Amino acid sequence: MAGGSLGSSCGPLLSCCITPSDAIIKPRYYGPVKNDPYCGRSGGRISRIVGGKEAEFGQFPWQAFIQVSGSRCGGTLVSRQHVVTAGHCVAKYQYNPSSIRVTLGDYVLNSDVESIPSETFGVRQIRIHPNFRFTPQADRYDVAVLVLDRPVVYKPNILPICLPPKDAHFVTRVAEAAGWGALEPGSKVRPRVLQHVHVPVLPNQVCESWHRRQGINIRIHDEMLCAGYERGGKDSCQGDSGGPLMLNDYGVYYLIGIVSAGYSCAKNYQPGIYHRVSSSSDWISSSLY
């Protein structure tokens, strides 16, 4: 697992480009954040994504594998019928949701080695954040909610994650990213086993200054967060887009980020760029209940 993208890119950043990234977008309040009563409990033991490890079966029971018309993204289950992913993964399919398949409860892709089988769902509706914008840099409000074609029956390998409080910040906390994305930058090989990696959450100003050291002038907006190491080595990568950045808070997992963008994977001074879920958790919640 090392940045994140769906399909082709239009430059060094792993996402597509249209609107100026410095456009002023005013956030609005969508009401209180509500969580599923079963959220955030891992079913696996705490034991690649670049520099990472194989996860345990059931360790991240909210992890979703999303197939989008021949491409792939990650996602996160947040209720019995809703999966959160990156807006750039699904935006062009907003009016063709039947082209998307979501698999929950998987661990080793394309196998039946799991003690409890995975389940695959169709998508009935795609809800894109109203402030989502493709930009030449990291996409703005890069989040979408998929409405599944039927409710999920919870079991040890299929459970929802918790949403964080509105506008909560997690700088200096160590989070986890997970997915089936590339293990090395530029590699077309994808692991079959779910990978995960620990990465620290960075202040946005530090993220911008690190990128400038590499000659990359990028604006990290308030609805974004960065996570990674100064010397690289561990990161999310191609194929991880839309997947979760999670925080284990005294045994309860919260979705704090969504894999959005990156100029490379696990490189010096180029941490991963994520949508900050606490900036949109009220909108996500309003889309569920």
pLDDT of residue 127: 98
Q: Are the beta carbons of 60 and 244 closer than 8 angstroms? A: yes
Which pLDDT score is estimated for 16? Answer: 38
Classify residue 45: in a domain, yes or no. Answer: no
Residue linked to tokens 């345990």: 56
Does residue 142 carry a catalytic annotation? yes
Return the closest-CA partner of residue 121 out of 105, 107, 102: 102
pTM exceeds cut of 0.75: yes
| Reported confidence tier of residue 149, pLDDT bands at 50, 70, 90 | very high
Mean pLDDT score of the chain, rounded to an integer?
A: 85
Residue 24 lies in a domain: no
In this structure, is residue 85 part of a structural domain? yes
- Split at pLDDT 50, 70, 90, the class of 113 is confident
User: How far is the C-alpha of 101 from the C-alpha of 66, rounded, in Å?
Assistant: 6
Question: Predicted confidence band at 275 (pLDDT cuts at 50, 70, 90)?
Answer: very high
Predicted confidence band of residue 163 (pLDDT cuts 50, 70, 90): very high
Average pLDDT over residues 192-221: 92
43 HSE (CA, 13 A, CB side): 21
Single out the residue of 2, 48, 65 nearest to residue 272, CA to CA: 2
* pLDDT, average across residues 204-225: 94
Is residue 123 in some structural domain?
yes
Its domain, for residue 61, covers 53-288
Residue 196 is a catalytic residue: no
Sort 154 into a burial class: Cβ within 10 Å, 0-12 / 13-18 / 19+. middle
Looking at residue 99, the DSSP 8-state letter turns out to be: G
In a domain, 266, yes or no: yes
Count the domains in the chain: 1
169 in active site: no
Pick from 4-18, 79-93, 184-198: least confident: 4-18
Q: What share of the chain is helix, strand, coil (3-state, %, to 5)?
A: 10, 30, 60
Task: Kindly state the average pLDDT of the residues 58-70.
Answer: 92
Q: Residue 98, SS3?
A: helix
Please report, for residues 22, 26, 198, the alpha-carbon distance to residue 19 in angstroms, rounded to integers and kept in the order given: 9, 16, 32
Percent of the chain with pLDDT over 90: 62
Q: Name the active-site residue from 139, 142, 240, 282.
A: 142
Question: 257: pLDDT confidence band, cut at 50, 70 and 90?
Answer: very high
Tell me the CA distances in angstroms from 88 to 46, 134, 177, 248, one per residue in order. 31, 7, 18, 26
Helix (H, G, I), strand (E, B) or coil at 130: coil
Residue of 82, 88, 129, 196 marked active site = 88
Least reliable range by pLDDT among 18-32, 47-61, 77-91, 134-148: 47-61
**Residue range 43-70: mean pLDDT, rounded:** 71
Does residue 10 lie within any of the structural domains? Answer: no
Bigger pLDDT: 95 or 112? 95
> 141 and 258 in contact (C-beta within 8 Å)?
no
Question: Minimum mean pLDDT among 129-138, 142-151, 238-247, 280-289: which range?
Answer: 238-247
102 pLDDT above the threshold of 70: yes
Q: CATH code at 133? A: 2.40.10.10
**E strands, the chain, in order:** 53-54, 63-68, 71-79, 82-85, 100-104, 119-128, 144-148, 174-179, 195-202, 224-227, 244-249, 252-261, 272-276
Looking at the DSSP assignment, which residues form a beta bridge with residue 74?
Answer: 65
- In this predicted structure, the answer to whether residue 50 has a pLDDT above a threshold of 50 is no
Percent of the chain past pLDDT 70, that is, above it, reads 80
- pLDDT for 76-98, tens place per residue? 999 999 999 999 999 999 999 99
Domain assignment of residue 134, yes or no: yes
* Phi–psi pair at 5, nearest 5 degrees: -165, 155
Distance (Å, rounded) from C-alpha 49 to C-alpha 183? 5
Instruction: Retrieve residue 261's tokens.
Output: 């963008």
The pLDDT value recorded for residue 187 is: 58
Residue 21 lies in a domain: no
Q: Which of 241, 279, 281, 285 is catalytic?
A: 241
